[in-house]
Structures are given as C-alpha cells and as structure tokens.
Amino acid sequence: TKDVTAAKIEVGDIIQIEANQRVPADVVFLRTTDKSGSCFIRTDQLDGETDWKLRRAVHCTQRLSSPGDLCRATGWCHVEAPRQDIDEFTGKFVLTRAPSPAPPAPPLASFGADGDCGCESRLEAGELDGDRQTEGEKKNCEEEQLMVSTHGGRTTRDGEQPIVEGLTLDNVLWANTVVASGSVLGLAIYTGKETRATMNASQATMKVGQFDLEVNLMSKVLFGILALLAFVLVALRRLEGIWPIYFLRFVLLLSSIIPVSLQVNLVMAKTLYSIFIMRDRRMKDTVGPPTQPVLSSRVPLFRDFPLVSPRSSFSSFPSSLSVASLSAASFFACSFELSCPSLSPSAASQVVRTSTLPEELGRIDFLFSDKTGTLTRNEMHFKRLHIGRAMFAEEGLTELRVFLESYFLRSHPVSPANADQPSWRDRERARTGERERGRELGGRRGEVVHAAVEAIRALSLCHNVTPVKDEDSQITFQAASPDEVALVTFARDIGVKLVHRDEHCIRLEARRIPLEKKINSSKSHRTHRSMQRSAFYVPGGAALEYSVLTTFPFSSETKRMGIILREASSQKIFFLVKGAEAVMIPRLQPKGSHWLQEECDNFARQGLRTIVLAQKELSEAEYDLFATRYAAARAAMTDRHSKCRREIERLEEDLRLLGLTGVEDKLQNDVPATLEALRHAGVKVWMLTGDKVETATCIAVSAGLKARQHSLTILSSQSIRTPSQTQEALERFAMGPSESVLVVDGRVLGAALQHFPHYFVRVAAQAPAVVCCRCSPTQKADVVRFVKKFTGRRACAVGDGGNDVSMIQAADVGIGIVGKEGRQASLAADFSITQFSHLRRLLLWHGRNAYQRSAKLAQFVIHRGLIIAFIQVIFSAIFYFIPLAIFQGWLQVGYATYYTMAPVFSLVLDEELPEDVVFMFPELYQTLKNGRVLSVKTFFGWVWKSIYQAAVVMMGAVALFENSFTNVVSITFTALILAELLNVASEIQTWHPLMIASEICTVVIYIFSMFILRSYFDITFIMTLTFWAKVTAVTLVSWVPIQIFKAVKKTLQPPQHAKLASP
C-alpha cells in the first residue's frame, strides 16, 4: 500500500477508508473489517439526511480470507455512465480468478429482500444504458484471457465459471459521505467532476441585489436628465458659436447630478449593517452546541488515503473517466470538518459573508428551507404508545415499566451470562406457562399487560437497527431511519434492550429498572453512553433470543416492513409488521382495530409520525408453505418482483393489531412562531427536503407550516406516474380551495420541472406553502431558479448541509445554519446563523432597517446633487445662459464632503419603528416588498422637491441682491446648507446621539469655514443681522411648505406604520 492525496486517486484504484473518514471518490464497496460484511455511512453532506445508512460489501470479495487475496484476485466491474441521481445505481461485478481456496459462488442474479433481482439479468438483456467500453478495456479483457460467452457472461480458458454479482445502491459509497463504522476497502469508479457529489453541486455566481439594480437604473435616468438639461441650455442660446463646446461645459457644470459618491456611501452603509447583524446579542446562540459531537474525531481536509492496489487488476468500466479532477478549492468546499465540539456562543454566532446584500433581507417573497437540521434538531422523541385498551405517554411510563417487569421478571431473574445453560430454557418454559395462566386469571389488567408486552416486543424486534459497540464498549443504535432508533431506544429505556442483531439472530435483554429512576425516553441514541454511565440498568434480567427467518425491508413503495422470527424458548413463529396506517389498516383484522383510524388522526393533529404495529402467529405448516412459495417466486425468471410481492401480501392478510406509536422529530426553538411571523409578513415558505412524504408532512404540521385552516394536497408518484397525470393533478389543485398546502414528491416534481416548469411554478406560487419531498440537491436549486425566473420575486434559501449548497447559491439571498452537520452550507451562504428562529429578526428587523436606511440614504445623495445642479441651471438662465459656475473651489468641493456628508450618512442609524412594534405587526414587512420606499414615484418626488428648493434658494438670493455677486453666493450657499440640514432632520424618526452630533458639527464647521474662506464670504456682510435674516427667510420658504405638504398628506393618507404607532 501507499498513501496518496485525494486528488491523485484514479479510476480502478482500491482505496482503504477508515472510520470517521470522508470518502474521496465514488467507490464500489469491496470489503470491510466487520464480520457482517456491512458498514454504516453518513450522508448528511450529500442528501441532508442525518440517519446512518447501511451498505453491504460485494459478497464474493468480502468472503476472501484477507485483503491480500483481494489484491491477487482479478476481475472487472461494469458501471453505468456518470449521472446526477444519488438514489439509484446499476452495475455488475465479475470475479474471474480468486486465490485458492475460492469463496463459494453466489447465484448469477442477486436478490433483494423482497425478491428484486440484481442488475445481472438486465445486463444480459442489454438494458444498461449509457455504458461505455473503450479499446483499453478490451485490452484488459485480453490480458486477463477472458472471452464473451453465449450467455453474456464470461468464463476463463479452463472453463471455470466466474463469480458474477449485480451491483445496486447498497454496494456503493458516494464521494463526500463518511464511513461511520469499520474499515472499508473500495474500488474507485468515478472521480473528480464525475462523482455524484460534484455533479450535484453548482458553481457560485456573483450576486447583485435588487436594490443595487434599482440604484443603477436611477443613475442612468440621472445621466439622461444631465444630458437633457445641458442640451436645453445650449438650445436656449440658439446654438450660437461652437455649441458642442458649450454643451460639454454645461455637462461639467451640472455633473453633480451624477451621484458619484452614492456607491461609496452605500458600501460604507452596507458594511455598517453587517456589523449591526454580527453584533446583535439577541441573535447569539442561546441553545449551545451538542454535548456530544456527532463523530468522535474530526475529518481532515487533506489527508493521504492508503491505496491498497493502485490501478489494480480490477478494471473499472468506463476507464475513460477523468481522473481525480477535484481542485483544492472544490475539495475544501465539500470537506470541512464534521464535528462541532465546544462551540461557544460567541464562536457560533451569526456571520455576514456577503456584505452587499443586507437590503435584500427586507424584500423577500419566497423562503426555501431545508428540513433536517434547519427546522428540526435531528432528534427523534417518543411521545405516545396506544394499545387500544390503554395509552402510554412519555410523561408517565411507570405503569408500563411495571407491566414489563411483572411479565419478564416475575420469578428468579436470569442473568444473560446464564442464558446458555440448559436449566435456563426450562425456567423460561415454566415462566411462559405462568404468564399464560396469569393472562387467563388476571382479567382486564392481565389483558392490558399482555397487550403492552406484545407491543414493546414488536418495537424491539421489527426494525433494521443494529447495536454497535464503540471504543468504550458501549452500545449505540444505528439504523437507516431515526424513527426506528427512537422506538428501539424507548423500548430500552423501559427495560427491553437490544443487545445483538445480525442476519440470523436477534437477542434482547429484559432488565429491571429502579422505580425511583425517572425514564427519559426522549433521549436519542447519542446520549445512550451517558445514561449507561449513570447505572441506568441494574444487574439481573432475562435474555430473550429470536432466530431471524426472513426479513422484508421497508420501501417507499410498500410503506411497511416485516420480519419472520422464531422464539428460541417456545419455538413459536411470529410475523411482525409495522408501517403507515394507510397501508396497514386494510390488512388488519376488523376485531380490535376499530379505534385505530381515530387515534391516527389525533396523533397527526399533534404533528406526530405514526407507525402501526401488527402481528401474525404462524404454524410450522403455514411457514413451510410460505417459504416454499416464496422461494419459487424468487427463482422465477420472469415477473419475479410481482410474484414475490404477491406472496408477501398473501402472508400479510388478517394481521392482529398490536399498537400505534407516535414519534416527534424535535423542532428547533421558536420554529412555529418564526414561520407564523413570516406567513403574516407575506413570505411564502417552501420546504425542500430529501425525506419521504410522510415525514415531511408531519414536520410541516408540527412546525406550523400548515396552519389550522389549511388542508393538504399530496401529489405522489404512487398515484401519479406520467407527466400528463401530473399536469391534470396540478389543474385540479389550481381549481380547488386556495387555502391548501401543496405536497409534491421527487418524481412528480422532476416531471413537472422537466415538462412544464412555468405552469408548475404559477400554480404552486398560489399555495400558502409548498412541501417538496425526496428532492435531490439539483432539484432544490432548479426549484429556486424557476421560481425566481417565472415569478420575478426575491428568493431566500436556508439550509445546514452540503446538499443545500446548490440551493443557497441559486437564491438571491443564501442563509446557512451552523449546526450538527458541519459548516459547508454556512461557508457557501451569504449569511450564517445558528438557529432557524434567527430568521425572524434577520428579515423583519435587520432587513427592514437596512432597506429603509439605504433607500433614504440613496435618495438624499441624489437630492443633494440635483438641488445644486438646478441652482446652477437657474443661475445660468438668469445670466443669459453663460457656462459660469456659481459655486467654485472649496465651496464646490466641500458641499458633498465636509458640509453635508456626516448628516446625510447619519441616516443609516435611523429606526422608523421600535422593535416591539415591528415584531408585533409583521404585516409591516409587506409594504417593503412592494418597493414603495424606493420607487419611480419617490424618485421623481425628490426631483420635484429639488427643483422647488433650488428655485426658492436661487431666486430668493437674487431678490435680496446687495449689489455684490459675493453676497449672492453667500446667501445662496448658506441657505442651501441649512436647508439640507433641515431636510435630514425632518426625515429622522428616531434620534441617535451621533445624528445630533453630526448636525451640530456641520454647523460649526460651516461657520468656521466662513471666516477662513475670505474670497467666498464677505466677513462684514455675514456678521450683520441683515444677512442672517435674509438667509433664514430663504431657508424657511424653501423648507416649510414641503413640511406642510407632508403633514397634510400624512393626515389624509397615513402610512400603515403611522396607524400602528399611534396610541
């Protein structure tokens, strides 16, 4: 072996990946140190799901005696062409020569748990699209002395049959996932830009805010006004002389119309807004980081990966793939450290990464949010268990715990260490008989005990959870679904603990728990270690062992899972099933299940995820008959899947209901309040998640995304299979009630975006909220782009995982949440926060203030240039249109700098309304989205205001002419400065000490400069009362009428905030 950097990995290399290390390329899972031949991976940075997923090694390579045998073996791997889909994979693996002794060959077609065939049969039929075979590949085949058989397989020259296995998603580890358990050997099949993670990532683009675009448009209009005024002045001279020269002179004289300093002021203002956001103490992390890191160690950014076999004898088709084209920058973007231990509130506070977009926070129309880690905490909590005769909530489980203890531990507890002794089975049979007699004599209490025990036993057995021992020999639960971990954890917390699980056996321990010990069943599996250290279980208990006969895994198609078990003590065979109520109710016995639908509705109204438990006891004859039929169905060469499903559904008939569970995905703090405030603010929230429809719907209910008056309309691929059906469903939704939340799964969404995106966006935009399920990262970004394109509205995207980066970059404003799943989204976002609830303050307060302040600042800067330009126009018109500047030298320079800059810029400290009013009435946010603060109407309003004030100042000065041009300049300029200060003061809503200081300092500086600039001011004249009387008169005439007009307008048409602020 040798160590190489991730960038040097090539297709065909065999890579060794240790636990808690990120997978650097797409690899076929060949071998693991775990005896079960499987490992868990974390995919949170790929699809946003935090639950660990199980992957299985290729059977023939896992059976090799040592990793060295893997290097000495030869074979080839045929995979599909690179594509974006992370949920499907098709390929085949052929082991042509293995070291002696060779492992037993599996059948040519590998079967799934429900009878699905591997891809080998499809390969033989030539249905693997996009495959490529190059000359180099043919050469590899010749060097291995292989030839194509008539069956489409391959054999060696000596006639030995090769081992052929179909590859599915379970045999592949995508790049950017993390190996969570064991040490893995994988064959690199895609590298660089052709990995799934990179193909689902989008390139970052420079974002320009709508506010900046509007300011740029106004600058263009001002340039047109400048050219028009210069041409009019030249035309009024009757185009005498060399008129183009006069035109250019007037352009220079009126150049103050172009707001050259506007961008400088806005950049400074945006920087100040960013500082306000980052220093906001109310947006600090109040929850704190998790007490335990998600992983026990950090994932290095750039490390050397051991190459067990560089360019091994396993050739990966197609060999023409680009090799390791990940640049350092792109690898950094997708490989930031995973664990976030010891984050202090100050270290995990909000960060502004793009300081040019604060104003956009005040004009958001659509908010696109991820679910896992964004709305939720990634923590599943058990809430309810209903068994028909009784219901148990998490608040009071003492009685349920007593039931279990009386059932399992009634006589002489057995330690697990004695479970293998012969006398243990005798005692178990004796206790079984005693329990049966107790049920006969115990009356109603005995029935409740028996029903509760059966439900808890089903929770402990019917799942795909695997207990895993960590470095401290402590057991943690891992599974593909956090729901199952929550239910198994709940069973453990009340006394029935899962201690062992493999393909053939499940072992439980029934433990006695002290009555005074408070049950905390809501803790996740991550806190299991701390619970055991506190001596949660006491010594003594019964060991319960079950043989696994057949397993039917959960699928989105069936919405249920099942398992057939044989109890070791009684040799009874049980068939346990759990799933969604929609598919379970038709399969239940009518007797004893009448209460189920009503309780499911009650649980759903509480935002709980419901799972129905059922059981069927099988005799030996019944099981043998099923096993025979199921084996024949799995061996069928045609229509295998439907035949297997038919046999399973026949077994699922006449199930006996055991109970109903309710699990809650814990929301972050104040999520419902935040979503409600955003809804009242006119922001439409779309939840884009990679989770299934049922889970997303429950979160939408519990988070308040679906209000009480709203209904749900679900467009699922289970009922909609073609684009035409999708369009018909959208038409029905458009004609239905307007208060209906639209729920769309990934396949329906993909069809809509591909065939009629404009119609989909137009219909979905009318819904109060939209939930898109099973979304890939690319689909999330496409939804954001299409909504922006077809609605013309501003979009904001918020997420916390690597799968949200594309969506964040596609939005007008991207917000990343620093959470338990790394900081990739935070680093790619424009703004980084620590909780979803911070969005309320970020948008309604900081966004509002930034937009209003910048709008006011921009219009004042434009007004400042217009008024002096119009004074110049009137002056030139009075003096026969001569191109002579009225203000020259230091007066012209100081007007836009030390005379007016501080008061005008102090407007960035203004607050139109107090915080409590803004948060009490989020509807005020809607007035900002319409752009009324900075619009064509307000722009020309300031233009007319500039014309009026310029005319009064200039004409007033001429009327009070004192036989000296210097006196005209003195009166005009002084009145102009004072009018600007009064204009600023009249626009301020909330006075800040710095505002008062800027006004006073400007007056002091101006008076001081009058004594210094003797060439512009007549000291004798300005020291007289006549001068100040004339200046005051001119200033008041230019300012007071405007204020009277504003007061009358405000009285007749009061703004919305004035109505709310009034007592």
Residues 6 or more apart whose CB falls under 8 angstroms from that of 231 comprise 247
Q: Which class for 382: exposed (0-12), middle (13-18), buried (19 or more C-beta within 10 A)?
A: buried
Decide: helix, strand or coil at residue 522: coil
Decide: helix, strand or coil at residue 378: strand
User: How far does the chain reach from its first CA to its final CA, in angstroms?
Assistant: 79
Is the sign of the CA dihedral 932, 937, 941, 947 positive or negative? Answer: positive
In the beta sheet, which residues pair with residue 563?
A: 551, 576
Paired tokens of 368: 């696109």
HSE-up (13 A, CA, CB side) for residue 961? 7
C-alpha closest to that of 698 among 608, 768, 618? 608
The CA-atom distances, in angstroms, between 203 and each of 82, 334, 368, 768, 809 are: 19, 13, 19, 31, 8
- The verdict on whether residue 774 carries a ligand-binding annotation is yes
d(CA 391, CA 177): 40
C-alpha closest to that of 188 among 77, 28, 5, 18? 28
- The verdict on whether residue 171 carries a ligand-binding annotation is no
d(CA 458, CA 1046): 73
- The verdict on whether residue 609 carries a ligand-binding annotation is yes
Q: What is the CA radius of gyration of the chain?
A: 37
- The verdict on whether residue 691 carries a ligand-binding annotation is yes
- The verdict on whether residue 856 carries a ligand-binding annotation is no
- The verdict on whether residue 484 carries a ligand-binding annotation is yes
Decide: helix, strand or coil at residue 179: strand
- The verdict on whether residue 511 carries a ligand-binding annotation is no
- The verdict on whether residue 370 carries a ligand-binding annotation is yes
- The verdict on whether residue 371 carries a ligand-binding annotation is yes
- The verdict on whether residue 804 carries a ligand-binding annotation is yes
Ramachandran angles phi, psi of 250, nearest 5°: -65, -35
Asked whether 579 and 554 are in contact (CB, 8 A), the reply is yes
Q: Tell me 16's DSSP state.
A: E
- The verdict on whether residue 916 carries a ligand-binding annotation is no
**Active-site entry in 370, 483, 782, 812:** 370
Number of CB atoms found within 10 A of residue 1048's CB: 10
Helix (H) or strand (E) holding 433: helix 422-441
d(CA 304, CA 859): 57
| Type of residue at 17 | I
Angle at alpha carbon of residue 47, lines to 44 and 52, rounded to 5°: 45
Asked whether 31 and 185 are in contact (CB, 8 A), the reply is yes
Asked whether 410 and 435 are in contact (CB, 8 A), the reply is yes
Paired tokens of 574: 């049980």
The CA-atom distances, in angstroms, between 960 and each of 273, 706, 965 are: 45, 69, 11
Residue 3 falls in which region: left (phi positive, over 0), alpha (psi -120 to 50) or beta: beta
State the pairing for strand pair 351-352/831-833.
Answer: antiparallel
Determine whether 87 is an active site residue.
no
Asked whether 688 and 642 are in contact (CB, 8 A), the reply is no
The 3-state secondary structure of 703-744 reads CCCCCCCCEEEEECCCCCCCHHHHHHHHHHHHHCCCCEEEEE
Q: Name all contacts of 38-43 with Cβ < 8 Å and 24+ positions apart.
A: 39/179, 39/180, 39/181, 39/182, 39/184, 40/179, 40/180, 40/181, 40/466, 40/468, 40/478, 41/173, 41/177, 41/178, 41/179, 41/180, 42/177, 42/178, 42/180, 42/294, 42/295, 42/338, 43/174, 43/177
Paired tokens of 605: 């109204």
Which residues carry a binding-site annotation for ATP? Answer: 370-372, 484, 554, 578, 609, 689-691, 774, 780, 803-804
Which residues carry a binding-site annotation for Mg(2+)? Answer: 370, 372, 800, 804
- What residues act catalytically? 370
Which residues carry a binding-site annotation? Answer: 370-372, 484, 554, 578, 609, 689-691, 774, 780, 800, 803-804
